[in-house]
Amino acid sequence: MGYAYPPFAFFLIGRKRGSIISAIAFSICAYLIYTQQQQTITIGLGSLFNTIEVSIAHILIFRFYEKTRSLAYQNLSNLNDEIKKLAETDKLTELYNRQKFDAELSALITKSEHSQASHCLLMCDIDYFKKINDTHGHLVGDKVLKEFAHLLQQKIGEQALIARWGGEEFVIILLNTALLDAAKQANELRSLISSNTVANMPITISLGVTAIQKSNDSVLKVLERADKALYFAKHHGRNLVCINDNNAHVTCYDTFLKLVDDDINE
């Protein structure tokens, strides 16, 4: 009676453990075959060495197979990660793209229904960006967008999700941030951009700010509120921050601060 020796299967659990288990399995199979023989077997030294060599070669072959299999899976995993990154990232600015942003915002709204944390959305637009393209060319315009995206990442920090919404528009989710604090951060960003150059170009930005509400909210509703505030800013002189509060009232930054102060003092 013979016993099959399947080291190939054992290597599916890994090279090290596969080697150990394969060696144990080989030893057990050899012992069982030996004990079931009805005659005395005399094993010569040469035969013993041959058996050992075959066993070692067998194990080494399948260790090599497992190594190549592991490398193939690792390369496939790296390739999948790269494909996922390309699918979620805006090529020019290396920020999240609109599709990824919508998915993250939707997940955040769902999560917010069972959380006490406050989150806000900023919608940002570079003022008169078409003039930059028309006057200096699209390559300069692309450089402005790239450097502006880099400034957003530096200024907003890690507690935010930033995406290129399209063209010269960007959207930012400020996590664990109340509406008043979000408005202040937006105005600080506006002031920083207006007092510096981006890609050696003087630019200004307009921003719309709104809170992500905990009930009956949706991606579309949040974006509509932020877009309405941004539209208000662009039609009241640009280089402004406007806020769409929880009552759907849109006010510019200074007026919003005054209303908040009045509510506190009442």
Question: Which residues are catalytically annotated?
Answer: 168
Q: C-alpha distances in angstroms, 54 versus 7, 12, 47, 50?
A: 13, 21, 11, 6
**What H or E segment, with its residue span, contains residue 178?**
none
- Give the closest residue to 221 by CA, choosing from 125, 126, 116, 112: 112
Beta bridge partners, 174, equal: 120, 160
* Residue 30: exposure state from Cβ atoms within 10 A (0-12, 13-18, ≥19): middle
How distant, in Å, are the alpha carbons of 30, 159, 185, 191, 255 from that of 262? 89, 30, 21, 25, 11
Residue with tokens 């921050």: 241
Give dist(CA 4, CA 218) in Å, integer: 61
Rounded to 10°, the helix 138-156/129-136 angle is 140
Question: What residues contact 148, with CB distance under 8 A and at least 6 apart?
Answer: 93, 126, 170, 193, 198, 199, 203
Q: How many angstroms separate the Cα of 130 from the Cα of each of 83, 151, 248, 249, 259?
A: 32, 20, 30, 30, 35
